[in-house]
Amino acid sequence: MNELRSKVLVIGGGPGGYVAAIRAGQLGLDTILVEADRLGGTCLTVGCIPSKALIHAAGAAHALREPQALNAIGLTVGRPELDFAKTIGWKDSIVARLTGGVGALLKKAKVRTLLGSAQIVDGKSAIVRADTGESRIETEHLVIASGSEPTPLPALPFGGAVLSSTDALALTEVPEALAVVGAGYIGMELGQAFAKLGARVTIVEALPRILPLYDQELTQPVARRLADLGVEALVGARAISFDKGLLRVTEADGKERAIPADKVLVAVGRRPRTAGFGLEALDLAMSGPFLRIDDKCATSMRNVWAIGDVTGEPMLAHRAMAQGAMVAEIIAGERRAFDHKAIPAICFTDPEIVAVGLSPEAAKAAHGEIRIGHFPFRANGRAMTLQDDEGFVRVVARADNHVVLGIHAVGAGVSELSAAFSLALEMGARLEDIALTIHAHPTMSEAFHESALAALGHPLHV
């Protein structure tokens, strides 16, 4: 067995782990990263990137299949044909480019990368089993970044026609009829994408509305688009079983219904990966199923750190990356804490949803009197030229001093506005700061400017 030593040992090469390792390497810390599968983790290989590639391809296919918008600008197109296996090949080529890039970045930062499964021995050592043999690593700091995996439903275990998000992203044919259980991030993003690719999609959600993690005003435009796409959303419903091409469901009124489906995507959440690699031996304090951490991502054991999905909600790649960079800096001796004002949340549905900071309800509960400013994209020139003026920007601020508490939007391509929203919150902006900033014309970001003016009582363009 190889005997290795490091200052930092990172278990998991997802966005949390690889960023922690790169930053540690940049800071001159002798670092080893262990990854059991592919560098890039869930995000790059079976999550954020492949799903967004599929969403893009689905949007392009849909624009050609339903060419009214193209016809309106004078374009006529012939009958489009989709080679879905090629679409998946294209998606895989992006994944390969990015995972290869992560390997190069780790090398550049002088991180030693071991491809193999790590088994924790104690808080200062682990054994790695790789194809090339076994290594025992002694370390000063252990960073656990083992991520998460899809949660199965007991009545619908993964396998055969019952798909996890990972399986759905590897299909080589578009299913004729797809049932989706769970109308959260994955169910909605992939459900809409498969509908645009030509599948007949039915969504089954246990709670009374789709995307229950966002407030209803934000999700209404998405619900309307679902209906336009011919997707049926059964809310307040539960899937009971799947057999012989029929998904049996109990609807909100208690009646049973059988939905024909050749595939069923189960997307009811993800669970932390905490079992099977010796973590139990450390007996770390837990927060429910997740590893408990403080504001420095320290666990209950000295010099054992945890970052990303294994530490709980929000299970987002950018949170994992921010935690990873911070932990490396703390290990290098910097004074840091995770005290961000906001972690942006984006749902890449059609239209997209962005939420940064507090919703109106949460702002009211925390601060009493608030001001809300809205600006609809139907009054925004750029949105009109892009042929999609559905949605709005909404800003929420304290009534007394106008400090902004939350910024939200729903509309085509609004994910790119999230940077401005997060910066405003992080800088402690007041409504006047946004109102007095010149926003370029013609852009969708003018709706952000106008929402602040609206909150101050003097919007210019409505």
Which positions are catalytic? 441
CB of 323 to ligand FAD, least distance (A): 8
Q: Is 181 in the site for ligand NAD (CB under 6 A)?
A: yes
CB of 177 to ligand NAD, least distance (A): 18
Contacts of 156 (CB under 8 A, 6+ apart): 162, 181, 239, 241, 242, 264, 266
| Residue in 441, 446, 367 with CA at minimum distance from that of residue 414 | 446
User: Listing from the earlier edge strand, what are the strands of the sheet with 352-357?
Assistant: 345-347, 352-357, 404-411, 392-398, 370-376
**Taking CB within 5 to 8 Å according to partner kind, which of ligand NAD, ligand FAD, none is near residue 17?**
ligand FAD
Residue listed under structure tokens 């299909």: 171
How far is residue 45's CA from residue 102's CA, in Å, rounded to a whole number?
12
188 near 222, Cβ under 8 Å? Answer: yes
Kindly indicate which of the ranges 192-200, 218-226, 261-269, 368-376 contains the residues binding ligand NAD, using the contact rule CB under 6 A. Answer: 261-269
For 157, 353, 431, the CA distances from 455, given in Å and listed in that order, are 49, 20, 7
Compute how many residues bind ligand FAD; rule: CB under 6 A: 35
Q: Whose Cβ is closer to ligand FAD: residue 13's or residue 25's?
A: 13
The torsion region of residue 444 among left (phi > 0), alpha (psi -120 to 50) and beta comes to alpha
Report which residue's Cβ sits closest to ligand NAD.
184
Q: Whose Cβ is closer to ligand FAD: residue 380's or residue 422's?
A: 422
Q: From the list 157, 159, 289, 314, which residue makes contact with ligand NAD (rule: CB under 6 A)?
A: 314
How far is residue 148's CA from residue 128's CA, in Å, rounded to a whole number?
20
Q: Is 43 in the site for ligand FAD (CB under 6 A)?
A: yes
Q: From the list 7, 30, 37, 332, which residue makes contact with ligand FAD (rule: CB under 6 A)?
A: 37
Residue 458 exposed, middle or buried by CB count within 10 Å (0-12, 13-18, 19+): exposed
Q: Is 206 in the site for ligand NAD (CB under 6 A)?
A: yes
Q: Which amino acid, one-letter code, is at 260?
A: P
Q: Is 118 in the site for ligand FAD (CB under 6 A)?
A: yes
Q: Which amino acid, one-letter code, is at 182?
A: G
Q: From the list 9, 13, 163, 274, which residue makes contact with ligand FAD (rule: CB under 6 A)?
A: 13
Q: Whose Cβ is closer to ligand NAD: residue 182's or residue 411's?
A: 182
CB of 298 to ligand NAD, least distance (A): 23
Q: From the list 153, 226, 279, 322, which residue makes contact with ligand NAD (rule: CB under 6 A)?
A: 153
Q: From the list 109, 183, 316, 410, which residue makes contact with ligand FAD (rule: CB under 6 A)?
A: 316
Angle at 153 between CA 149 and CA 159, to 5 degrees: 75
Judged by CB under 6 A, the chain residues 274 through 313 that form the site for ligand NAD are none
Kindly indicate which of the ranges 38-46, 91-99, 215-223, 434-442 contains the residues binding ligand FAD, using the contact rule CB under 6 A. Answer: 38-46
Q: Whose Cβ is closer to ligand NAD: residue 117's or residue 151's?
A: 151
| Residue in 8, 1, 2, 3 with CA at minimum distance from that of residue 112 | 8
CB of 27 to ligand NAD, least distance (A): 29
Kindly indicate which of the ranges 97-105, 274-282, 343-351, 424-432 contains the residues binding ligand NAD, using the contact rule CB under 6 A. Answer: 343-351
DSSP letter assigned to residue 308? G
The torsion region of residue 117 among left (phi > 0), alpha (psi -120 to 50) and beta comes to beta
CB of 115 to ligand FAD, least distance (A): 9
| Residue in 192, 180, 249 with CA at minimum distance from that of residue 223 | 192
Q: Is 22 in the site for ligand FAD (CB under 6 A)?
A: no
Neighbours of 79 (CB within 10 A): 6
Residue 339, helix vs strand vs coil: coil
Q: Is 305 in the site for ligand FAD (CB under 6 A)?
A: no
**Taking CB within 5 to 8 Å according to partner kind, which of ligand NAD, ligand FAD, none is near residue 187?**
ligand NAD
Rounded to 10 degrees, what is the CA torsion of 37, 40, 44, 47? 60
**Taking CB within 5 to 8 Å according to partner kind, which of ligand FAD, ligand NAD, none is near residue 42?**
ligand FAD
Q: Whose Cβ is closer to ligand NAD: residue 70's or residue 207's?
A: 207
Kindly indicate which of the ranges 199-207, 401-409, 431-439, 441-449 contains the residues binding ligand NAD, using the contact rule CB under 6 A. Answer: 199-207
Q: From the list 212, 236, 278, 381, which residue makes contact with ligand NAD (rule: CB under 6 A)?
A: 212
How far is residue 60's CA from residue 51's CA, in Å, rounded to a whole number?
14
Residue 153, helix vs strand vs coil: strand
Neighbours of 16 (CB within 10 A): 33
**Taking CB within 5 to 8 Å according to partner kind, which of ligand FAD, ligand NAD, none is near residue 15?**
ligand FAD
How far is residue 186's CA from residue 184's CA, in Å, rounded to a whole number?
6
How far is residue 31's CA from residue 142's CA, in Å, rounded to a whole number?
10
Q: Which residues bind ligand FAD (CB under 6 A)?
A: 11-17, 34-37, 41-43, 47-48, 51, 117-118, 145-148, 165, 186, 273, 277, 308-309, 315-318, 320, 348
Which residue ranges make up the site for ligand NAD (CB under 6 A)?
153, 181-187, 189, 204-207, 212, 238-239, 267-270, 314-316, 346-348
